[in-house]
Amino acid sequence: MLRFVSLMFKNSWRNRRRTALTVVSTGISLCLLGVLLAVYAAFYFAKPSAYQALRLVTRNRVSLAVSMPMYYRDKIRSIRGVREVGILQWFGGAYKDSRDPNNFFARMAIEPESLFILRGEMSVPEDQKKTFLQDRTGCLVGRMLADRLNFKPGDRITLVGDIFPVTLELTVRAIFDAPENAEVLYFHWKYLEESISRGRGSMVGAFSILADSPESAPRIARDVDATFRNTSFETKTESEQQFGLSFLSFLGNVKAFLLSICAAVTFTILLVSANTMAMSVRERIQEVGILKTLGFTTGEVTGIILGEAVIISLAGGALGLLLASGLCVLVRMGPIGFDLFRHLAIQPRTAGLCLGLAVLIGVASSVVPALAAARTSIVNAVRHAG
Amino acid sequence: MAAIPISYNLRNLVVRKTTTIMTALGIALTVAVLLAILALVHGLDTAFAASGHPLNVLVLRKGSDSELASNFLRTAYQDLRPKPGIARGRGGEPLASLELVTVINLPSRSNPDGMNVTLRGLSGAGIEMRDQVRLAQGRWFESGQREVVVGRSITGRFPGAALGRTIRFGRGDWRVVGIMDAGQTASNSEIFGDVDEVSADFNRSSVLSSALVRATDAVAVRALIRDINDDRRLNCSAQTERAYYEQQTNSGKPVQYVGLMVAIIMAVGSSFAAMNTMYAAVSRRAREIGTLRVLGFSRASILLSFFLESLLLSAAGGVLGCLLVLPLNGMTAGIGNLVTFSEIAFDFRVSPSIIAAGVGFALLMGALGGVFPARMAAKKEILNALREG
């Protein structure tokens, strides 16, 4: 069959306009499919980094909006395999005009000493780290966020609270670099605790836990929840990655949404491609008759037509992947600070899947017309009006 | 100028039925994706627009823009209740309700790990003020009891929230004693319980979330809002309940944005496919075009004829796409609400204007795909055309 490859290429390039239109249209659809699959992979198949695999998050079992007592921290610390535990308190509030989505970012109250152990992958210049540790109203800002809102050490940031009815006056003391979660502002839990005079003080929203090995992390999660079972404040502990995904599931059934769009796109490409192949085969029934007169078998003729279709859809696939990679770069540079999107790329596996799908579409779209043409008897084929 | 009869185009589409069906199906799927997104956004908008009584005024702590992030003091409620302009309920008491709003995590059918649901602690007056809320099954919760009433769409989506069963939050189990039907409003996605019981469970007996009051009339609404906003001692901000829900409509924005992008990209692909089909039609019918010209039809009428054929083809796809989406109408789904931090249920709504948008979108694809092939057909020289094919 390989010796017919040049014939397949020649055939596929015969009606240039049609081939070009088909390649571009399958390419555009496959580009869409590639990006959707990349998003899907980023959401559900991303491997946690070495540090992330060690981290767990504990929250109140009822929901994130409900807090739990601060003394839980010491109880968690005594569980076997827990290397470090620290408060992780979401501070909602508003920075400047909260109606501008660009002014939204995560603000977390933390205990600085714990944070530097929990997030060992963070790199902070030593002198900045020192001033941050010393200044109770200081804050530590991720590089991505600092670049976006142009924060520099020494800048003042005012946060007006809503969940916590206080206004915080913070000073940027340090900027950290990290491969992920670099769009966040950390500040001293102590500062927040002092500012709230009323009852909520001894309650916290979540704890971040560092396990001593990735293997012990699931066991620690079970142990933490078992410790507080049947108390007034039961907990739910999950890996940091799962914790992130739970925000996603809150947005609705993202999985079903992505998959149903992917299915619609795939089916559309199949239709476009099948249409093209049906048209081009119909035009060439006479040729099929001649090929068969020359001694080509039914199988060979089918193969040549299938090959032609695969060449066209693979070309579409390649174009689609090229476009999709470009789109991913655009998404990465985009303004929305969703950490998962910062690393959006067409992984080799996604690329393989797209090309595999292109081959399948090529075969599926041409198998019916190819078989029909190849089975036509020579006499009928040659007589065919075209 | 004599026009080529449209039946000529119709017959041609029927003769090439495989190609016609495949091209139309491609367009139909593209239209279906667009319409599904539009129906979702429309359903969501309807849910938010229907929520909130125009005479109800929602009071939050100053600086908070959602009930969830608001800390409303019980003492502020005591100061608020005697304000002038507040309507009286059936028992002669002011129609005012102190409420606690929080989020609880319940395992749902589609997500066993748990989805967020809004829990609202409120009093009898609070129920009375929500005119659209009606009891569908069971009875209302009694004050002082660990009982809840769940919204109609909650009970369908969360197996634990069925009549007679218990759900677990706060300090223990709560019995589901009733199911309420709140029409199209957001209360369908909420769980109601007695405010004192619920707030005690969450240690928030003195710091709650919000207050809802009913003004006597439209003039009193404005006066009451101004009165509350200006009252320094109260430290609260007021707005109509309707305005509060209107703000939340942007919850559908991310889905709308992604959906529109997808539909547009798919449309480019589909209009290329239509172009392919039309080019094939033109080249196959070269001799016919020549004949038509010999018969005296002008270039313009040939251009128009092929353009119309492309529009017909895409219109068929558009109608098919609408038919594909129709079963979605009335289907219930949930989406995360960025303000309440929990799910809001809504029904997909395929309205006539959405159908019109879908057919219009299909025609646009047909027009884009048809204009170049039609021009090629019109440009053919008679002699060359007759010789071709």
Closest CA to A36 of A344, A279, A243: A344
**Distance in Å, alpha carbon of A65 to nearest chain B alpha carbon:** 6
Nearest chain A Cα distance for residue B367, angstroms: 16
Instruction: Report the distance separating Cα A106 and Cα A128, nearest Å.
Output: 21
Query: Does residue A150 register a pLDDT over 70?
Result: yes
- pLDDT tens readout for residues B219-240: 999 999 999 999 988 889 999 9
Give yes or no for a contact between A336 and A272, defined as CB atoms under 8 angstroms apart. Answer: no
Q: pLDDT band at residue B110, thresholds of 50, 70 and 90? A: confident
| pLDDT of res. A54 | 94
Q: Given this model, what pLDDT does residue B134 score?
A: 94
Reported ipTM: the value is 0.78
DSSP letter at B210 equals: E
Quick one: CA torsion of A309, A313, A314, A320, rounded to 10 degrees?
Answer: 170
Q: Which two tokens stand for residue B254?
A: 């991310």
Give the model's pLDDT for residue B389.
55
Question: Residue B173 forms beta bridges with which residues?
Answer: B168
Question: Is the per-residue pLDDT at B52 higher than 60?
Answer: yes
Mean of per-residue pLDDT scores for chain A: 88
Q: What pairing do the DSSP bridges indicate for beta strands B115-122 and B190-194? A: parallel
Can you give the pLDDT at residue A335? 58
Instruction: Retrieve residue A221's tokens.
Output: 């999660």
Give the predicted TM-score (pTM) of the model.
0.81
A165 min Cα distance to partner chain B (Å): 8
Q: At residue A248, does pLDDT exceed 80? A: no
Closest by CA position to B16, among listed B281, B276, B279, B271? B281
Q: Is the pLDDT of residue A251 over 80?
A: no
Span A294-300, average pLDDT: 89
- pLDDT value at residue A338: 61
**Which residues does A294 contact at the CB level (< 8 Å), separation at least 6?**
none
Interface contact B276-A264, CB threshold 8 A: no
> What is the pLDDT of chain B when averaged over all its residues?
90
> At B135, is the secondary structure helix, strand, or coil?
strand
> Closest by alpha carbon to A170, among A183, A184, A153, A187?
A187
The model's pLDDT over B301-322, given as tens digits with 9 standing for 90+, comes to 999 999 999 999 999 999 999 9
Angle at the Cα of B283 from the Cα atoms of B278 and B285, rounded to 5 degrees: 95
Which of B69, B104, B272 has its CB closest to that of A63? B104
pLDDT value at B331 more than 80? yes
What tens digit of pLDDT does each residue of B237-270 get? 999 999 998 888 777 777 788 888 888 988 988 8
Instruction: Name, in order, each residue with C-beta under 8 angstroms of A91's C-beta and a sequence gap of 6 or more.
Output: A107, A108, A109, A159, A161, A163, A164, A168, A187, A192
Confidence of residue B330 (pLDDT cuts 50, 70, 90): confident
pLDDT score of B78: 94
Taking the C-alpha atoms of residue A50 and residue A178, their distance in angstroms, rounded to an integer, is: 13
- Is the predicted pLDDT of residue A2 greater than 80, yes or no? no
**What is the arithmetic mean of pLDDT over A131-141?**
95
B145 lies within 8 A of chain A by CB: no
Q: Does B205 touch chain A (CB under 8 A)?
A: no
When scoring A15, A18, A19, A21 by the number of chain B Cβ atoms within 10 A, the one with the most, hence best to mutate, is: A21
Q: Which of B198, B272, B277, B348 to mutate to test the interface with A (most CBs of A within 10 A)?
A: B272
Which pLDDT belongs to residue B91? 83
- DSSP designation for A124: -
For residue B19, give the 3-state DSSP assignment: helix
Report the candidate in A28, A366, A274 with the shortest Cα–Cα distance to residue B22.
A274
What is the reported pLDDT for A215? 93
Beta strands A203-204; A68-69: pairing state: antiparallel
pLDDT bracket for residue B277 (50, 70, 90): confident
- Interatomic CA distance for residues A281 and A261, integer angstroms: 30
In 3D, which of B213, B336, B203 has the Cα closest to residue A203?
A: B203
Q: Select from B307, B320, B308, B291 the least CA-distant residue to B380.
A: B291
Mean pLDDT of A291-320: 91
Residue-range domain boundaries for chain B: 6-49+251-387, 56-216
Say if residue B1's pLDDT is above 70: no
What are the tokens at A166?
Answer: 């206080």
Helices of type H across chain A: 5-12, 16-44, 72-77, 112-118, 126-134, 143-149, 189-195, 217-227, 240-250, 254-283, 285-293, 298-333, 348-375, 378-383
Question: A364 pLDDT exceeds 60?
Answer: yes
Instruction: Name A139's Cβ contacts closer than 8 Å, sequence gap at least 6.
Output: A132, A157, A170, A171, A172, A173, A185, A186, A187, A188
Out of B47-51, B55-59, B315-319, least confident range: B47-51
Closest alpha carbon to B299 in B229, B353, B380: B380
Residue that is written with structure tokens 């571009």 in the block: A24
CB–CB contact A253 B333 (8 Å): yes
Residues B177-185: what's their mean pLDDT? 90
Least confident residue range of B88-102, B120-134, B182-196, B249-263: B249-263
Average pLDDT over residues B277-303: 90
DSSP code per residue over A57-82:
EEEESS-TTS-EETTHHHHHHTSTTE
Region A325-339 average pLDDT: 75
> What tens digit of pLDDT does each residue of B123-151 get?
999 999 999 999 999 999 999 999 999 99
Report which DSSP code applies to A159.
E
Give how far the C-alpha of residue B202 lies from the chain's centroid of Cα atoms, to the nearest Å. Answer: 33
Q: What is the pLDDT of residue B31?
A: 93
At residue B120 the predicted structure's pLDDT band, cuts being 50, 70 and 90, is very high
Closest-CA residue to B272 (of A341, A263, A191, A24): A24
End-to-end CA distance of chain A: 26
* pLDDT at residue A385, as a whole number: 61
The domain locations on chain A are: 2-47+253-383, 62-233
Q: Does B327 contact chain A (CB < 8 Å)?
A: no
pLDDT in tens, A25-62: 889 989 989 998 998 888 888 788 888 899 999 999 88
- Structural tokens at position A185: 């502002």
* Tokens standing for residue B256: 């709308």
Hey, what are A122's tokens? 């963070």
The C-alpha atoms of residue B70 and residue B81 are separated, in whole angstroms, by 18
Kindly state the average pLDDT of the residues B87-102: 91
Report the interhelical angle of A254-283 vs A298-333 (nearest 10°). 140
Measured at the alpha carbon of residue A294, what is the angle toward residues A292 and A299, in degrees to the nearest 5?
Answer: 40
- Greater confidence (B21 vs A280) lies with B21
Compute the CA torsion angle A256, A257, A259, A260 (nearest 10 deg): 100
Q: Mutate one of B265, B285, B320 to test the A interface: name it (highest A CB count within 10 A).
A: B265
Give whole-number Cα distances, A50 to A108, A120, A209, B85, in Å: 22, 10, 14, 61
Identify the pLDDT of residue A250. 65
Confidence of residue A155 (pLDDT cuts 50, 70, 90): very high
Sign of the alpha-carbon torsion through B376, B381, B386, B389 = negative
Report which residue type is found at A302.
T
Any A CB within 8 A of B19 CB: yes
Question: Residues B16-45: pLDDT tens digits?
Answer: 888 899 889 989 999 998 999 899 889 888
Task: State the helix-helix crossing angle for B253-284 and A16-44, rounded to 10 degrees.
Answer: 160
Q: How far apart are CA A110 and CA A114, in angstroms?
A: 8
